[in-house]
Amino acid sequence: MNSSLKVVSGGATLAAEIVGSGPAVVFLHANVCDKRMWRPQLDAVGAHCRAIAYDRRGFGGTASAAEDYSAVADLVAVLDATVGAAPAILVGCSQGANIALGASLMHPSRVRGLVLIAPTVAGASEAVYSSDLAEMVAQQKRAEAAGDLDRLNDIKARLFLDGPLAPEGRVEGDARRLFLDMNAIALRAAPGGVNPDNWPIFSRLDEIAVPSLVIWGTLDFPHIQERGRAVAAMLPDAQGKELPGTAHLPSLEQPEAVTGWILDLVRRCL
pLDDT tens-digit series, residues 76-97:
999 999 999 999 999 999 999 9
| CA 143 – CA 141 distance, rounded (Å) | 5
Residue 198 confidence (pLDDT) above 80: no
In the predicted model, what is the mean pLDDT of residues 21-25? Answer: 97
Residue finishing a domain among 187, 213, 232: 187
Number of domain units in the chain: 2
CB atoms inside a 10 Å sphere around CB 114: 27
| CA 188 – CA 58 distance, rounded (Å) | 9
Q: Is residue 81 located within the same domain as residue 159?
A: no
Q: Is residue 197 located within the same domain as residue 229?
A: yes
Helices then strands, each counted (H, E), the chain: 9, 9
Q: Is residue 45 located within the same domain as residue 110?
A: yes
Residue 195 confidence (pLDDT) above 90: no
pLDDT band at 192 (very low <50, low <70, confident <90, very high): confident
Instruction: Name the DSSP class of 110.
Output: G
CB atoms inside a 10 Å sphere around CB 110: 21
The model's pLDDT over 216-259, given as tens digits with 9 standing for 90+, comes to 999 999 999 999 999 999 999 999 999 999 999 999 999 999 99
The model's pLDDT over 97-126, given as tens digits with 9 standing for 90+, comes to 999 999 999 999 999 999 999 999 999 999
Which residue range is the domain that position 166 belongs to?
Answer: 134-187
Q: Helix-strand-coil percent breakdown of the chain, rounded to 5?
A: 45, 20, 35
Residue finishing a domain among 151, 167, 187: 187
Q: Is residue 28 located within the same domain as residue 141?
A: no
| CA 262 – CA 38 distance, rounded (Å) | 12
| CA 30 – CA 248 distance, rounded (Å) | 9
Q: Is residue 11 located within the same domain as residue 145?
A: no
Residue pair 118/220 in contact (Cβ under 8 Å)? The answer is: yes
Total count of residues recorded for the chain: 270
| CA 222 – CA 118 distance, rounded (Å) | 11
The pLDDT value given to residue 193: 87
The pLDDT value given to residue 89: 98
Query: pTM for the full model?
Result: 0.97
Q: Is residue 166 located within the same domain as residue 118?
A: no
Q: Is residue 112 located within the same domain as residue 148?
A: no
For the chain, the average pLDDT equals 97
The pLDDT value given to residue 59: 98
CATH number at residue 57: 3.40.50.1820
Helix (H) / strand (E) containing 235: none
SS (H, E, C) 8-49: EECCEEEEEEEECCCCEEEEECCCCCCHHHHHHHHHHHCCCC
Q: Is residue 159 located within the same domain as residue 238?
A: no
pLDDT band at 182 (very low <50, low <70, confident <90, very high): very high
The answer for residues whose C-beta is within 8 angstroms of residue 120's C-beta and 6 or more apart is 94, 95, 97, 98
Q: Is residue 30 located within the same domain as residue 51?
A: yes
Q: Is residue 42 located within the same domain as residue 59?
A: yes
Q: Is residue 32 located within the same domain as residue 153?
A: no
Residue finishing a domain among 163, 187, 211: 187
Identify the burial level of 130 via C-beta atoms within 10 angstroms of its C-beta, where 0-12 means exposed, 13-18 middle and 19 or more buried.
exposed
Q: Is residue 41 located within the same domain as residue 110?
A: yes
